[in-house]
Amino acid sequence: RKEVEQDPGPFNVPEGATVAFNCTYSNSASQSFFWYRQDCRKEPKLLMSVYSSGNEDGRFTAQLNRASQYISLLIRDSKLSDSATYLCVVTGSNFGNEKLTFGTGTRLTIIP
């Protein structure tokens, strides 16, 4: 089983719609969770951290379910500029262990 698994997509979603995707992780002791965004042929950039209680940043909502070992990302009122690949990222089980494990990404295309 991969350490971090994502549905590769592509998700083709009309502009203005809501879209959600999940990511599962295998290490139950993982401490920190993130969503990174990567535009085509560009470097990954941090989109948001994922906190245990769930968190929002504008149109983006991230959730963590430790019992089922998955995290989710919800995008509301999607914009054309949201088209990108979204990478789920999980850290190791020890504080100070900065090994980030990246999922392969979920590709999202917003259709006008």
Q: What is the DSSP letter of 21?
A: E
Closest residue by Cα to residue 87 from 34, 19, 11, 36: 36
Q: Which stretch binds another protein (CB under 8 A): 20-28, 38-46, 64-72, 74-82?
A: 38-46
Backbone φ, ψ for residue 105 (5° rounding):
100, 150
Beta bridge partners of 50: 33
Among 10, 42, 65, 111, binds another protein (CB under 8 A): 42
Q: Which stretch binds another protein (CB under 8 A): 18-26, 57-65, 71-79, 89-97?
A: 89-97
Residues that bind another protein (CB under 8 A): 4, 8, 32, 34, 41-46, 49, 87, 91, 95-96, 98-100, 102-105
